[in-house]
Homo-oligomer: A and B are copies of this chain.
Amino acid sequence: MENFADRLSADWREKDCFVCVGIDPILALLPDPVRDAALKKQPETLQAAAAAFAEFGKKVIDAVAPVAAAVKPQSAFFEMLGPEGMRAMRELIDHAHRAGLLVIADAKRGDIGPTAQAYAQAVIGSVQVGTNRFEPWEADAVTVNPYLGSDGILPFVAAAKEQGGGLFVLVKTSNKSSGELQDLVADGRPVYEHVAEWIADHAGDLLGSSGYSSLGAVVGATYPEQLARLRKLMPKNLFLIPGYGAQGGGAADVKPGLNADGLGAIVNASRSVIFAWRDKTWAATHKETEWTDAVADAARKMRDEINQVRR
């Protein structure tokens, strides 16, 4: 299996594309036609909601595929619909692959030993049952929480190595309260830098021929100074940069996350792209029935804005 960083790197170099679109479906925010069709076809059940999520997600994928390198389904929203929700997420992962996109499962898993291994096998690896082997989620990469230390990360590294997958460890997250724990200063530097050092030290475990490592880091666009510092600490690790768009980060805020070669990161926007027609930027020019055009236009604008600061 080709190294995940190399596969992403090919998108950077060949498609000039640094956009990741987060698929975070919320029933109340879906386009009326999509939600209504699903809820009318079946009674108002979790199955019906899952069908609406699958329909919505596939249309988002088709709309953004020409300008995105990856999609990032947020597993929480699918899990909240029970087993049918997980089935819908798997459908979307397959659909994204057919559309030529990489898939980062935003699961933020963190556990120890055999349990972390089980999560890794589920999301980016494979599971043996008797003589058969299955890939339950078949995502290309997964987000991982570092609170439990290396016991919680290394099983994901092992699975990534085996399957050509990747992982993005939470370093500095984009939310308001991220500093409460992550910014605590120990031995002269914040906790998130300790995590960053570990990740930089282990870059070689998943290094691709592109020079980038599939052992990546999540660093929010909402803290540009910290982003610049972390880029220097982890020059070879992929960055997944959330917080673009609805969370307030713009293209200029993202730039410090790129290396001098203009590469190294993938930038995620969720709500500002997938619910674009609800935003005043797009609502004036796009009716709700044309919501997929608004999604495509928002993703294209994001790609162009990022490419402008890259040059």
Residue ranges of A at the interface with B (Cβ–Cβ < 8 Å): 24, 26-27, 39, 43-46, 48-49, 74, 76-77, 79-87, 90, 108-116, 118-119, 121-122, 127-132, 134, 136-137, 145-152, 170, 173-182, 184-187, 191, 194-195, 198
Contacts and interface: CB of A to CB of B under 8 A. Distances in A.
Contact of A45 (B122, B129, B170, B175): B129
A90 B85 CA distance: 14
12 contacts: A27-B129, A46-B127, A76-B116, A76-B119, A79-B86, A80-B127, A82-B136, A108-B145, A110-B110, A112-B175, A149-B177, A152-B177
B191 A177 contact: no
Contacts of A85: 136
A292 to B, nearest CB: 23
B175 A48 contact: no
Contact of A184 (B76, B178, B194): B194
| Copies of this chain, count | 2
Nearest to A180: B149
A200 to B, nearest CB: 15
B121 A80 contact: yes
A252 to B, nearest CB: 23
A3 to B, nearest CB: 24
Listed from nearest, the 4 A-B pairs whose CB atoms lie closest are A44-B130, A149-B177, A149-B180, A184-B186
A116 B26 CA distance: 13
B150 A177 contact: yes
B79 A132 contact: no
Contacts of A130: 39, 44, 48
B186 A129 contact: no
A304 B243 CA distance: 51
A129 to B, nearest CB: 5
Nearest to A146: B181
Given A148-B178, A149-B177, A177-B150, A83 B87 contact: yes
Contact of A113 (B45, B175, B182): B175
A112 B83 CA distance: 22
A119 B80 contact: yes
Contacts of A79: 86, 118-119, 122, 136
Contacts of A184: 184, 186-187, 191, 194
B175 A186 contact: no
Given A49-B129, A83-B87, A76 B111 contact: yes
A130 B44 CA distance: 6
